[in-house]
Amino acid sequence: MATKRILKWEDMQSHEDYLEERQSYTDEKARKLGYPSAEVLRLSDHLSQIADEWRTTKDSKLVVEYQQTLYKMILKGYDVDILPIQDQLSTELMPDLPPPPVRAAILQAYDKLTI
């Protein structure tokens, strides 16, 4: 039988320390957390920070950065269906999904199949 580990106050880690630790995660560790790669994990952390800052400032420049970051994540294998609600912007500011280049490729492939 496994021994229970009792957590102590000293075991607590600050949010900043946790994010710093995640910067050194390998692809293997990122995949264990459900990300396709460590790069996508880091992009996800950045996306969370952008969303948090946008909620505070409502700066439209952050919306553009958010959309670009999310598109990069998708193109690198991120499943947007698992995007946590806290990492999303308001509905009207969320980017078109799939991204326009991907949508165009899908439509082009579909056209070839239906001809």
> pLDDT (tens digit, 9 = 90+) per residue, 52-80?
999 999 999 999 999 999 999 988 989 88
Nearest to 47 by CA among 67, 23, 31, 21: 67
**Model pLDDT for residues 8-18, shown as the tens digit of each residue:** 888 788 888 88
Is this prediction's pTM over 0.85? no
- Tell me the three state secondary structure of residue 23: coil
Q: Which two tokens mark 58? A: 């409502």
Domain ranges, ordered by start, for the chain: 29-114
Secondary structure of the chain: what % helix, strand, coil (to 5)? 65, 0, 35
Using CA of residue 15, residue 18, residue 23, residue 28, what is the dihedral sign? negative
